[in-house]
């Protein structure tokens, strides 16, 4: 997925999801301060997306419905969303990836049916995702920064390298 960087970190009982604000169309920057990170289900779940905005918003709505259906159980909701995403013809064509987190779980979801929970307490997607992931891992291992500070610094590093990522960072924290 080109066009953004989303990073999730869990540390010291806190969960942070951060995303840059740049929206591009091809090689043209259209917007600098988009919100690609949102809260769902009574502010107990944070979701960030990379990919097509309309597709991601459709997935946000579907995830919100699944969370309502399963009483806020994120694990069950993301598994059921992934099943629908993979099997429903209208959803199969959606071009987006999601990170969904609550206090206890962190997941990456994709249209290929992936529901992955990382081994470590950090996860990233998007064009600058691997850069932000590497930066966050280094900062987690070698600094005493808060999760919010780590996320902002990691996204700044990604923005300095990835042309599809900017420094207009939105952070949500549980």
Mean pLDDT of 28-35: 92
- Which one, of 49, 56, 39, lies nearest residue 4 by Cα? 49
Sorting pLDDT into bands at 50, 70 and 90, what band is 2? Answer: low
82 is in an annotated binding site: no
Mean pLDDT of 137-150: 97
The answer to whether 4 is a known catalytic residue is: yes
Mean pLDDT of 13-29: 92
The region of weakest confidence among 1-5, 94-98, 154-158 is 1-5
Joined together, the tokens standing for residue 110 give: 């994709």
Please report the pLDDT score of residue 100 as a whole number: 98
Catalytic residue among 4, 5, 24, 58: 4
162 is in an annotated binding site: yes
For the chain, the domains span 5-173
Mean pLDDT of 73-86: 94
Please report the pLDDT score of residue 159 as a whole number: 97
Fold of 5-173: 3.60.20
Assess whether pLDDT exceeds 70 at residue 146: yes
Q: Can you tell me the distance from the alpha carbon of 50 to that of 130, in angstroms, rounded to the nearest whole number?
A: 13
Please report the pLDDT score of residue 112 as a whole number: 81
Assess whether pLDDT exceeds 90 at residue 120: yes
* Stated pTM of the model: 0.94
Contacts of 40 (CB under 8 A, 6+ apart): 46, 47, 60, 63, 64, 67
- Which one, of 49, 88, 42, lies nearest residue 67 by Cα? 42
Q: Can you tell me the distance from the alpha carbon of 111 to that of 81, in angstroms, rounded to the nearest whole number?
A: 10
CA angle 106, 150, 76 (to 5 degrees): 5
Residue 51 exposed, middle or buried by CB count within 10 Å (0-12, 13-18, 19+) = buried
* Mean predicted lDDT score pLDDT of the chain: 93
Assess whether pLDDT exceeds 90 at residue 163: yes
Assess whether pLDDT exceeds 80 at residue 1: no
Assess whether pLDDT exceeds 90 at residue 20: yes
């Amino acid at each position: 997925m080109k066009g953004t960087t989303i990073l999730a970190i869990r540390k010291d009982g806190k969960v942070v999801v951060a995303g840059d604000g740049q929206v591009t169309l091809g090689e043209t920057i259209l917007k600098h301060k988009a919100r690609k990170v949102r809260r769902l289900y009574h502010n107990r779940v944070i979701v960030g997306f990379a990919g097509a905005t309309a597709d991601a918003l459709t997935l946000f709505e579907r995830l919100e419905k699944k969370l309502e259906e399963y009483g806020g159980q994120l694990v069950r909701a993301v598994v059921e969303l992934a099943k629908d995403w993979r099997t429903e013809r209208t959803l199969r064509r959606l071009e987006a990836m999601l990170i969904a987190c609550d206090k206890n779980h962190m997941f990456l979801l994709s249209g290929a049916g992936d529901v992955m929970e990382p081994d470590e307490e950090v996860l990233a997607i998007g064009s600058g995702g691997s850069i932000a992931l590497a930066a966050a891992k280094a900062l987690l291992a070698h600094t005493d920064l808060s999760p919010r500070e780590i996320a902002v610094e990691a996204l700044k590093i990604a923005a300095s390298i990835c042309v599809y990522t900017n420094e207009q960072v939105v952070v949500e924290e549980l």
